Amino acid sequence: MELKLSNLTKEFKDVAAVDHISYTMTTGVYGLLGVNGAGKTTLMRMLCTLIKPSSGCITWNGKDIFELDGEYRRLLGYLPQDFGYYPDFTVYDYLMYVASIKGLRPATAKQRTARLLKQVGMDKEKKKKMKKLSGGMKRRVGIAQAMLNNPSILILDEPTAGLDPNERIRFRNLIGELAQERLVLLSTHIVSDVAYIAKEILLMKEGKICVAGSLKELLAPMQGQVWSLDVSKEDAETYRKNYKVANVRIIPKGVNLRILSGQRPSENARPESVLLEDVFLHYLGEGMVEEDVSI
């Protein structure tokens, strides 16, 4: 099982949304991290054969996916950021409808729908209309529809957008289960969604993969470069101008700063363990971390 990107490029007018990417994926979860506009969705749409590359190629087990055509798409499950549905369909009817589009026989569709509804925790909501579902429920139904054909490749674009913390934990556990026998590519800008489940993590910036590897491989080069420092509110702004500050937290006597620096920023600074959020900030720039408390 090998999905290979070779010098893959997609240009829109004079802008390269995806810029000469080469990478090989096999079984397991791959996390694709990047800020909005990094090119993640364009890359995923090419992997799903929805748009063709300007140059380069994508191969599945050595064969071009666009030449494989329907043979490749039968192996594919895709959850876009916004998936379409008929609002008056019940959850069950919607999944059966998608199953028919995917060419599943009625008996198989019923079995797969029933199993997936339990797997995503929606079996008790199967008679509810799609328009009545919460955002988290809709995402779970979206994952179920992507899994109906039991795909070898599962591509999920911002699947946890708008979910609460409990929903995100449920989602991560589900993806961990689904990835045992398939390739899962998960695109997100929420770092914690991939920190613990991804086999490899790809950081994407301006259409390029700027760094990639396992969590351990990404954290190792930054050991000794993350610091915690308590300062007054007046001094905090100076540190924010001179250093990459990953987090700002209000404390009784001022603020606590989490600072990225190759050198100790102050004699009072304390070394901290490196997190994936720190790596994200280091490579992808300032102001990109999930939680940042303004002063």
Q: What is the pLDDT of residues 159-208, one digit of tens each?
A: 877 777 887 888 888 888 878 889 999 998 788 888 888 999 999 999 99
Residue listed under structure tokens 């506009």: 37
For residue 44, how many C-alpha atoms fall within 13 Å in the half-sphere facing its CB?
A: 29
Helix 135-147, helix 91-101: angle, nearest 10: 30
In terms of CATH, what superfamily is 3-219?
P-loop containing nucleotide triphosphate hydrolases (3.40.50.300)
Binning pLDDT at 50, 70 and 90, where does residue 293 land? very low
Q: What is the pLDDT of residues 226-264, one digit of tens each?
A: 999 999 999 999 999 999 999 999 999 899 999 999 999
Would you kindly state where each structural domain of the chain is located, as residue ranges? 3-219, 220-284
CA distance 31 to 63: 24
For residue 172, how many C-alpha atoms fall within 13 Å in the half-sphere facing its CB?
A: 17
| DSSP letter assigned to residue 127 | T
